[in-house]
Amino acid sequence: MQEIGQVPGATDGADFRRALKDHYGVTLKRFLKTFPIFAVMCVSLFVTKSEYLIPLAIIGMFGSLITAVGCYARLSLIWRCSRVFRAYPVAFRGPIEKMNLERYARSRLRLRFGEPADQSTTMLAKSALGRYGWPAGIEDGVWFAGDDPFGGVAIVPSTGELLFMQPSEWMLLAEERESAGEARIEQARRAGIRKAVSYR
């Protein structure tokens, strides 16, 4: 399990603004903890003009780039979550059937709302903090904002973690989305989930 910082903490669906704020805070704190170190490694070459520091500067350059890109990706996903919360009400959904982790992307979770016998939409979920593995207590249910054929966002009550979700079989639900009606389609558009969102 990749440890990337303290999770926000237990919350409920009524407090999604605090969850968003906490996620922004955790992401920025992590960035400010690592980026300056790589930046100093990079700048040291130009300050000292010592050829011996070239390997260190190269590490610093790549480290700075990876840290900045990772921070941007997380902030972008949190922003997407905030769009969904602005467009949809939050309702409790549970229990959660944990299906599996994606084979080639350990940070993506495959899950389904309801009992195993329920034929609800199978979702692919990604932690807005980029954490690996299942959040503690997710099987008991989540606070969900969205529309199943389009996707949405979930808050795990016991940890406060945000999960951005999309149907795992996006193409198979195309007809259901097209026949959802103008109001639902417009709501999904405002939430930024009218089309598939590419995220890693």
3-state secondary structure 11-80: CCHHHHHHHHHHHHHHHHHHHHHHHHHHHHHHHHHHHHCCHHHHHHHHHHHHHHHHHHHHHHHHHHHHHH
Helix, strand, or coil (residue 172): helix
**Predicted local distance difference test score (pLDDT) of residue 193:** 94
Q: What percent helix, strand, coil does the chain show, rounded to 5? A: 45, 20, 35
pLDDT of residue 12: 62
The tokens for 115 are 């009992």
pLDDT at 4: 40
Provide the pLDDT for residue 11.
Answer: 64
Counting beta carbons within 10 angstroms of the beta carbon of residue 64, is it exposed (0 to 12), middle (13 to 18) or buried (19 or more)?
A: buried
* Model pLDDT, residue 7: 57
Mean pLDDT by 10 residues, the chain (200 residues): 48 77 93 91 82 85 92 94 94 86 67 71 89 87 93 92 92 90 94 82
**Bridge partners, residue 3, by sequence:** none
User: In degrees rounded to 5, what are phi and psi of residue 179?
Assistant: -95, 10
Provide the pLDDT for residue 2: 37
Q: How far apart are CA 160 and CA 20, in angstroms?
A: 9
CA distance 111 to 125: 7
Q: What does the pLDDT read at residue 97?
A: 87
Within 10 Å of residue 78's Cβ, how many Cβ atoms? 22
